[in-house]
Structure 1
Amino acid sequence: MNRIIPFQGTNNFRDMGGYRTADGRKVKFGLFFRSDELTALTEQDLTAFRTLNIRTIFDYRDEGEARHKPDPAIAGALNIRLSAVPEDQVTRINMPGKMESRDRSQHFIEDMVNSGFFKKFRADAMLIELYSKIAINNPSYKRLMDLIRLPDRLGLLHHCTAGKDRTGVGSALILLALGVPEETIMEDYLLTNEMMKAYNGEQLRRFAEHVDEAELRNIEQMLGVKEEFMEAVFGSIKTTYGSVDSYLAEEFGLRKEQREALQEMCLE
C-alpha cells in the first residue's frame, strides 16, 4: 500500500503503516495517520478522506490555531484537541504566544517574522529546547497513548500545523510503543522534508522579499526537520527514565503486558 496520501488541501498526509518492528512484524495500514493542518481539504479531498475510515482526529494545536484554521467535521469521526505545547513553554522558547484568531496570519512563520523572532533568536536552538522537553510529562501525548489502545478509536489521525514537530514526536511515541526501531522512526520523521519540499520552497521565496538573508536562513531551519531534533527526544527519554521501556511504562502505563496487547492489535 502507498504510505503517502496526496490530498489537494494538505502537504504532509500519510499512513504510518508498513514500518517493520524489531521482531520482524509490520505496522498495519489504516490504523494511524499523520498530517499537517486539515482546514484546506477540498470537497474532493473530503470524499476520499471518508474512505480511510478515520474515527478519531487528534489535534495538537492550541486554541488560537484551531479557531483560526478549524478542522472539518467528519461524520463518524471524533475530534479531540489537546495542545502539545503548554502556554508557559511557548513563552519560554520565545514563540509568539496566545493570539486571537483575528491576529493570526495565514502562515505560522509569518507570525514569527512579525514578532521579531528571527531577528533575535535561532530557530534550531529553540527547536532543540522544545524537543528536549516535549515528550516528558505531556498531557497531550498521555491522551494520545491512551487512545491508541482503544480499538474503536482507530483509525486515528493526529496532526498539528505543519505535521512535523508536535506530530513528529507523537508519531515517534506511537512507533516506539509498537516496537519500531529508532532508526526507522527517524526515517519516518525525516520524510517530512521530502513531503514539504515544494511547499517550503514556495514559502521561502515569499518571505525572501521581506527579510534579510540571515533571517531567511533562520526561517529555513524552522520549516524543516533535522536528525538532532528527534535525537533530543530520544536523549531526554533515556536521560529521564534510563530506557524507552521504562519511559513507556511510567509515562503511559504501557508495561510489557499492555505493549504486547497493543502490538497484537496493531501489527501483522
Structure 2
Amino acid sequence: MFRAGHLADLSLADLTVVADLGISHLYDFRRGFEQEHKPNHPSVLATVDHVIHLDITPGNHSGSLEVVTHTGSLPAETHQFMCDINRELALSHQSSFKRVFEGLLTDPDAIVLVHCAAGKDRTGFAAALILLALGVELDVVMQDYLLTQRYFLPHEQIPALRDKYGFDGVKDEVLEPIVATRREYLQAGVDAMLEHSGSVEGYLLDAFGVGAVERQLLSERLTETV
C-alpha cells in the first residue's frame, strides 16, 4: 500500500517508478473540482485495473475552506480549521475509508495507492487507519504522517494553493497552516475516534467492521516477518 498526492505532474522518471509499483487499485479522495484542476496522468490510469473515486470534501460539515479563508482570517483560525477537518474525517467520512478496507480485505493480491491532492490530510488519515489496524503504535503512525513535512513544503505549496482557490489578498501566514503537516491535525482525528468508540480497536470495528479477524487478515497480507 502506498500514499501520494495528485499524479498530474509526473516526470518520465516518476512514471517509471509508479509503473514499477504495479498498482492494481487506485483510491482517489479528491472532489470533482480537484480532479478537473489536476487530472491524474493518463499513463498511470492506463496501467491501473481499478480506479475508485471517493470524493471527500474536507470542511463540508465544519465550514468550507473557501469560507474560513478570507482577507480577515487569522493563522489560528486556519490552524483550527485543519484540526476540525481531521475530526470530520473520523466522524463524517467513514463510508469512504471503509471502501479502502473492503478492497484490501476482499482482494488478497491488491497493490493499493491512496491519494488526494496533497497526500497529507485525507490520504494521511487513511494511511494512519491502516497502520493502526495493523497494530502499529500511535507514536510510529504519527512519525509516518509527519514524514510529509519532508516532501510537501509550505513555501512551495502556498502559490499552488492560491492558484487552486484564488486566495488573492490572503496573507501567507494564514495559508501556511493549510499546507503544513502538524501533529495536532492527525491527533484531532485520533481524539475523535476515541470519543466515538472509546478505543482505536472499537472505532475500527464500529466504523468499518474491522475486528480481530479482519485485522489479522490485514496483517497477513500487508506485513512481513523480519
Relative to the length of structure 1, the TM-score reads 0.72
Match of 1:252 among 208, 216, 222: 208
Distance in 2 of aligned mates of 1:203 and 1:160? 15
Distance in 1 of aligned mates of 2:64 and 2:157? 22
Distance in 1 of aligned mates of 2:204 and 2:92? 11
2:64 alignment partner in structure 1:
94
Structure with greater contact order relative to length (CA < 8 Å, sep ≥ 6): 2
Unaligned regions of 5+ residues in structure 1, if any?
1-31, 98-111
Distance in 2 of aligned mates of 1:148 and 1:118? 43
5 Å matches for 1:44-83?
A: 44-72=13-41, 73-83=45-55
Aligned residues: 212
Distance in 2 of aligned mates of 1:180 and 1:170? 14
Distance in 1 of aligned mates of 2:78 and 2:51? 31
Distance in 1 of aligned mates of 2:133 and 2:145? 16
Matched, 1:41 2:10: yes
Q: Percent identity?
A: 30
Q: Any idea what the Cα deviations from partners look like across 1:197-233, whole Å, max 9, x if unmatched?
A: 3xx32345897xx647xx2111111111111111111
Distance in 2 of aligned mates of 1:193 and 1:68? 24
Match of 2:185 among 218, 229, 235: 229
Unaligned regions of 5+ residues in structure 2, if any?
163-167
Q: What's the secondary structure of 1:41's corresponding residue?
A: coil
Indicate how the Cα distance of structure 1 residues 143 and 203 shifts in structure 2: closer, same or farther if over 3 A, else same.
Answer: closer
Report the AA paired with residue 53 of structure 2: R
User: Does structure 1 retain, via aligned residues, the 8 Å contact 2:62–2:88?
Assistant: no
Indicate how the Cα distance of structure 1 residues 259 and 85 shifts in structure 2: closer, same or farther if over 3 A, else same.
Answer: same
Distance in 2 of aligned mates of 1:136 and 1:63? 22
Instruction: Give 1:118 deviation, angstroms.
Output: 5.2
Indicate how the Cα distance of structure 1 residues 246 and 118 shifts in structure 2: closer, same or farther if over 3 A, else same.
Answer: farther
1:20 alignment partner in structure 2:
none
Relative to the length of structure 2, the TM-score reads 0.85
Q: Any idea what the Cα deviations from partners look like across 1:78-106, whole Å, max 9, x if unmatched?
A: 111111237xx426423238xxxxxxxxx
Q: Which has the higher helix share?
A: 2
- Compute the RMSD of aligned alpha carbons: 2.3
1:120 alignment partner in structure 2:
73
Distance in 2 of aligned mates of 1:53 and 1:140? 23
1:10 alignment partner in structure 2:
none
Report the AA paired with residue 59 of structure 1: D
1:26 alignment partner in structure 2:
none
User: Does structure 1 retain, via aligned residues, the 8 Å contact 2:116–2:122?
Assistant: yes
